[in-house]
Amino acid sequence: MPEHPLAREVYEILTQRQLTLATAESCTGGLIGHLVTTVPGSSAYYLGGVIAYSNRVKETFLGVPAEVLRTVGAVSRECAEAMARGARERFGSDYAVATTGIAGPSGGTPSKPVGLVYVACAGPHGVTVEEYRFVGTRWENIEQAAEAALRLLLKAVRE
- CATH of residue 137's domain is 3.90.950.20
- In terms of residue numbers, what domain contains 154? 5-158
pLDDT digits (tens, 9 = 90+) for 4-58: 999 999 999 999 999 999 999 999 999 999 999 999 999 999 999 999 999 999 9
CA neighbor of 133 nearest in space, from 155, 154, 102: 102
C-beta separation of 25 from 59 below 8 A: no
CA neighbor of 88 nearest in space, from 37, 49, 145: 49
Q: What is the number of structural domains in the chain?
A: 1
d(CA 140, CA 153) in angstroms, rounded, equals: 20
Give the pLDDT of residue 2: 83
Whether residue 124 has a cis bond before it, omega within 30° of 0:
no
pLDDT digits (tens, 9 = 90+) for 111-153: 999 999 999 999 999 999 999 999 999 999 999 999 999 999 9
Q: What is the dihedral of CA 4, 95, 117, 63, to 10 degrees?
A: 140
Give the pLDDT of residue 67: 98
